[in-house]
Amino acid sequence: MDHYLKLAARYDEYYRYSDRYIAYFTDKIIKALPVRPGESVVELGAGTCIFAQEILKRVPYLDMVCVDNSAAMLRSAEHTAIKRVCRDAVCFAAEDTRYHRVYMKEFIHHLDTAAREELFKGLYRQLYPGGSLLILMEPRRLNYPLFDEALRRFEQGQPSRTAIMAQLEHAGFTVSFDVFAYPINLSRQKYTEMVRNRYMSVLETFTADELEAGIQSITEGQPETELEYLESFYGIVGKK
């Protein structure tokens, strides 16, 4: 995706937030799946493999595979124990491979309904019996201090939790979900820089002038120099 090719150099800077943030969601991934020593684990839409690298620090003897269609992103992954696969997720799900766990964070909204159906059926086939899948996805209504039109467009394009769960069940999974949330604190200057650099894919739908107008509305609507908001995710688990 051109969006992530542009972001590759600053992806970790924009998405890491803090070591505590990464630790929080890493622990949620490990416990929700759960990930056990000696298993094979796949991260889809892995980007720079931030979470895969952290999981390897916590759980020993894993066979870790990161899948992303951006070679630039995968090249940024530092951990030598990770097998990096530059592939479209749906194409990967059609391959003849097996593993115990698969997870994805902030990825599923990139796929339309038909592609998700194909993906979930492929992942179900690839997982070992007793294997599991975790999808971390944002709710349609965000708490982010974005400008109104960006929030509206995100809500319009984001699939619902219930739609994702129904598709997983149709693919054969037994499905459950939880809600995870973490407080974000960062400067308004940093956040507007992230918006200007289109850190979210929805921001690619705005012209440069529209984006600057949106940033101006953020500045006017958030007079404090430090921003605080809650980043929330649905944690949807599918078990085979």
pLDDT per residue as tens digits for the range 162-219? 999 999 999 999 999 999 999 999 999 999 999 998 988 899 999 999 999 999 999 9
> What spatial distance separates the first Cα and last Cα of the chain, rounded to whole Å?
31
Amino acid at 72: A
Provide mean pLDDT across the span 49-56: 94
Select from 177, 173, 178, 190 the least CA-distant residue to 229.
190
Task: Give pLDDT tens digits for 74-114.
Answer: 887 776 789 999 999 999 999 999 999 999 999 999 999 99
* Order of strands, sheet of 63-68, starting from the edge strand that comes earlier in the sequence: 83-86, 63-68, 40-44, 99-105, 127-137, 226-239, 174-187
CATH number of 2-181+232-239: 3.40.50.150
- State what percent of residues in the chain have pLDDT above 90: 81
Q: Where are the domains of the chain?
A: 2-181+232-239
